[in-house]
Amino acid sequence: MSRFLFIETSTNVCSVALSDENEIIAIKESSEDRAHAKILAPFIREILDENKLETSDLDAVVLSKGPGSYTGLRIGVATAKGIAYASDIPLIAISTLRAMAYGFVQKNQHPEALFIPMIDARRMEVYSAVYDNHNEGVRAIQADIIDEKSYSEYLSNSEVYFFGDGAPKCKDVITSERAHFIDNFDPSAAYMHHLAMDKWKNKDFEDVAYFEPFYLKDFIATVAKKNIFK
């Protein structure tokens, strides 16, 4: 029986899951802020030990590829690539926003609606995309600066559900009666399963040596205002 390890580190949530080809078998998650480097490897070790597996028993590693936190994505990618390379198994990458949309629709059936997963990109900016209830993309992933006209072309014709850690900042700005804001919906390793199995069957794998996360925007380092070494 095939076994797949899933890693999700694109936001504050650190999520690790194990599955076969049919369903999620085990999952470990934490929303402890900035703790990915501390807890990701122990989560993987624990979930494998509890199921009496080694990384060499896995058939593929599945990774949430972004967009999202630069640091979180780097940690997840480095870990996934290390396991895939060392165990000589495929690496499968899944869009974070597409997986969020898929997971939301599975939990909340709204057949005539549109779904906009959002990841906080600081200030009034979010990473978002638009999907229908079949997980088909209506609008590609992009960085949006939110104002009162944001997503008006979708809200004029449809009920729209906003969710993810970027959605709360939009509540007071987007006032359409067709806009529905869902609290406390985070990315999860479990939401990637169905999408990953499609890629597995089609042998749609990443190049382990050259794969990079989907940052969407370049990382910009800032200079500290205070020199702590003086």
For the chain, 230 residues long, give each residue's pLDDT as a single digit of tens.
899 999 999 999 999 999 999 999 999 999 998 899 999 999 999 999 999 999 999 999 999 999 999 999 999 999 999 999 999 999 999 999 999 999 999 988 777 899 999 999 989 999 999 999 999 999 999 999 999 999 999 999 999 999 999 999 999 999 999 999 999 999 999 999 999 999 999 999 999 999 999 998 754 444 445 554 44
**pLDDT for 226:** 52
Provide the 3-class DSSP secondary structure of residue 103: helix
What sign results for the dihedral spanned by CA atoms 141, 78, 123, 31? positive
Range(s) of the chain covered by CATH 3.30.420.40: 4-95+187-201
Element containing residue 36 per DSSP (H, E):
helix 36-50
Q: 103 near 48, Cβ under 8 Å?
A: no
Phi then psi for residue 180, to 5 deg, are -120, 125
| CATH architecture observed for domain 109-182 | 2-Layer Sandwich (3.30)
Longest dimension (CA), the chain: 61
- Threshold 0.85, pTM exceeds: yes
**pLDDT for 144:** 97
**pLDDT for 224:** 46
**pLDDT for 228:** 42
- For domain 4-95+187-201, give the fold: Nucleotidyltransferase; domain 5 (3.30.420)
Task: Return the percent helix, strand and coil in the chain, to nearest 5.
Answer: 30, 25, 45
